[in-house]
Amino acid sequence: MVMQHINFFRNLDTVVRELGVRGHEVVLLHGTRLDDKTRGSLERKREKMVFMGRGIEVAQAEVTGVTVGYRPEPEERWQRKLRLGRQVVNRAIYLRKGHPSPDRVVEGLEKRLPAGLLRLFGNRVTRAVLRRRFSLTVWRRVEAVSRPSRGVVALLEQIRPDVVLVSPTVWP
């Protein structure tokens, strides 16, 4: 199970415990660098993440077959460009007519976008193009023909999972 950050474990806790009871091995990878004090600007934020991470620690201690680790970030330059494209597509999904656009989700997606890309969303023509399903279809083809990250592939080859679950799905 690959999580954006450690807080997403709360959504997966019961699933992890049930899989453990059934004898499955579960690997939880998250993106929260608890040891990197430069990532969070406030010590309070770091303390909150440590608190939220206790659920994972408890599950790892209580459930046989649970392993926890940090998920790797793709290092390749083209993977970073794909990541930006994915962020644009994720944000564009909320442009569609009738979409129940939760402000918190949109704010979170926009917070990670560079200023230049944010300006694109202010342009009516760009918004019209991005809200069309065709744009998502084109993007899916770009992703399909792109090579995966060597680091991520190496990790998957090492773990050899039967199933990979990613949470949340709207995530660069």
Where are the chain's structural domains?
2-74+149-167, 77-145
pLDDT at 42: 46
User: If 0-12 CB within 10 Å is exposed, 13-18 middle and 19+ buried, where does residue 8 land?
Assistant: buried
Q: State the 10-residue block means of pLDDT for the chain, 172 residues long.
A: 85 90 92 63 55 74 88 88 87 80 74 84 88 90 94 93 85 58
Distance, in Å, from the CA atom of 87 to the CA atom of 82, rounded to the nearest integer, reads: 9
Alpha helices by DSSP H, the chain: 9-21, 43-62, 77-93, 103-111, 115-122, 124-130, 133-145, 150-159
Query: According to the model, what pLDDT value does residue 114 have?
Result: 87
Give me the phi and psi of 81, to 5 degrees please.
-70, -40
Report yes or no on whether pTM surpasses 0.75: no
pLDDT of residue 26: 94
